[in-house]
Amino acid sequence: MNGAWTHRTVLLNEAITALQVNPDGRYIDATFGRGGHSRLLLSKLSELGRLTAFDKDLDAISEANTIVDPRFSIRHEGFMHLDQMPAASAAGVLMDLGVSSPQIDNPVRGFSFRQQGPLDMRMDTTRGQSVAEWLADASIETMTEVIRDYGEERFAGQIAKAIDRRRQERGPLQGTAELAEVVAGAVKTREPGKDPATRTFQAFRIFINAELEELQRALQATLKVLQPGGRLVVISFHSLEDRIVKQFIAGHSREVFDRRAPFAAPKVMQLKALGRIKPSEDEVAGNPRSRSAVMRVAERTGDVP
């Protein structure tokens, strides 16, 4: 990993505190990233404690392999594979849904509209379709839907048509700078200080990596792998993710009655919501990328099926 691309872990101490670490417990860092949370969590564990981490990114795997600790293991998989972990095996699950700074800052990854790079945006570059490959023949209707739904972009239709015109005139887009230029030409107004391409790049990244679908599967898997009293801690960075997390916790934090069987016992709640935390003013001042972060915490209740 290039040392110029540094990463500052968001809500580091707050997340580990929220887990209420049992030194002898088994924990899951579902999104290793650059390992900030994992390293601090490991420092809280005894010789009996264990930490399993997941990540799709090869650079993250390389970073994880620098941790020489028998209590730690890394899996080169997305966190939707949490359901492969044994039932009731985890005292806590941590998910940090943010894109790491090295991913954004390295132009080769294609995540940033600020530097020229290939239109890739895959978290796992060993598999799947890149944004460039998808854009080569995606329909206007499909592009519009992706940009609108995953980027919450009100100019989605105009952007999709502009991309199509560019393809018709000069063939496939050649890189991130060109895509950003096309988007800027289609977006007539934007919030002060926000690049016109921000929402479109977010939309394409979320879509190509199936991020929201993976998050939903991973959250559902935590109901299986968390032991009673185990903590779920999720840090999200945009409204689409946070809405899914909020609704998931809320939906499993209440008793559910079957209206078709009014005298049957209700389905007991599986989670207890413990609130939300935002970065402090000092953290935002020192790391502006943390400003949109929201951390939600819940505790597993009842018996694990």
What per-residue confidence (pLDDT) applies to 265? 54
> Tell me: the pLDDT tens digits for 146-201?
999 999 999 999 999 999 999 999 998 989 999 999 999 999 777 777 889 999 99
What per-residue confidence (pLDDT) applies to 86? 96
What is the average per-residue pLDDT within 216-223?
Answer: 98
Q: 177 and 150, same structural domain?
A: yes
CATH number of the structural domain spanning residue 271: 3.40.50.150
> Tell me: the pLDDT tens digits for 25-36?
999 999 999 999
| CA separation for the pair 24, 91 (Å, rounded) | 9
Q: What are phi and psi of 268, to 5 degrees?
A: -70, 155
Q: 198 and 245, same structural domain?
A: no
pLDDT grade for 8, boundaries at 50, 70 and 90: confident
Q: 236 and 176, same structural domain?
A: no
pLDDT at residue 3 greater than cutoff 60: no
What per-residue confidence (pLDDT) applies to 303? 67
The larger pLDDT score, comparing residue 172 to residue 82, is at 82
What is the average per-residue pLDDT within 34-61?
Answer: 96
* Residue 2 located in a structural domain: no
- Among 208, 239, 256, which residue terminates a domain? 208
Q: Which helix (H) or strand (E) holds 42?
A: helix 36-43
> Please, are residues 249 and 273 in contact by the beta-carbon 8 Å criterion?
yes
* Residue 305 located in a structural domain: no
> Tell me: the pLDDT tens digits for 118-152?
999 999 999 999 999 999 999 999 999 999 999 99
Q: 234 and 87, same structural domain?
A: yes
Q: 238 and 97, same structural domain?
A: yes
**Residue that is written with structure tokens 């207890």 in the block:** 272
Q: What is the mean pLDDT of the chain?
A: 90
- The closest alpha carbon to 92, from 15, 10, 32, 40, belongs to 15
Q: 276 and 136, same structural domain?
A: no
pLDDT at residue 304 greater than cutoff 80: no
Q: 52 and 176, same structural domain?
A: no
Q: 163 and 39, same structural domain?
A: no
Q: 241 and 200, same structural domain?
A: no
* Residue 118 located in a structural domain: no
pLDDT at residue 258 greater than cutoff 90: no
What per-residue confidence (pLDDT) applies to 289? 84
Q: 222 and 85, same structural domain?
A: yes
pLDDT at residue 243 greater than cutoff 70: yes
pLDDT at residue 225 greater than cutoff 80: yes
CATH number of the structural domain spanning residue 171: 1.10.150.170
Which token pair is 95?
């998910």
The larger pLDDT score, comparing residue 80 to residue 265, is at 80
* Residue 165 located in a structural domain: yes
* Residue 82 located in a structural domain: yes
Q: 255 and 219, same structural domain?
A: yes
- Domain span at residue 151? 128-208
* Residue 122 located in a structural domain: no
What per-residue confidence (pLDDT) applies to 98? 83
pLDDT grade for 255, boundaries at 50, 70 and 90: low
What per-residue confidence (pLDDT) applies to 176? 93
* Residue 169 located in a structural domain: yes
Q: 281 and 222, same structural domain?
A: yes
Look up residue 96 and give its amino acid. D
Contacts of 132 (CB under 8 A, 6+ apart): 118, 119, 120, 172, 173
What per-residue confidence (pLDDT) applies to 136? 93
Contacts of 172 (CB under 8 A, 6+ apart): 132, 135, 136
- Among 165, 181, 208, which residue terminates a domain? 208
* Residue 90 located in a structural domain: yes
What per-residue confidence (pLDDT) applies to 28? 98
Count CA within 13 A, CB hemisphere, residue 158.
13
> Please, are residues 247 and 273 in contact by the beta-carbon 8 Å criterion?
no
pLDDT at residue 208 greater than cutoff 60: yes
pLDDT grade for 249, boundaries at 50, 70 and 90: very high
pTM of structure: 0.90
What per-residue confidence (pLDDT) applies to 234? 98
pLDDT at residue 239 greater than cutoff 60: yes
What per-residue confidence (pLDDT) applies to 2? 43
- Among 208, 242, 277, which residue terminates a domain? 208
The total number of structural domains that make up the chain: 2
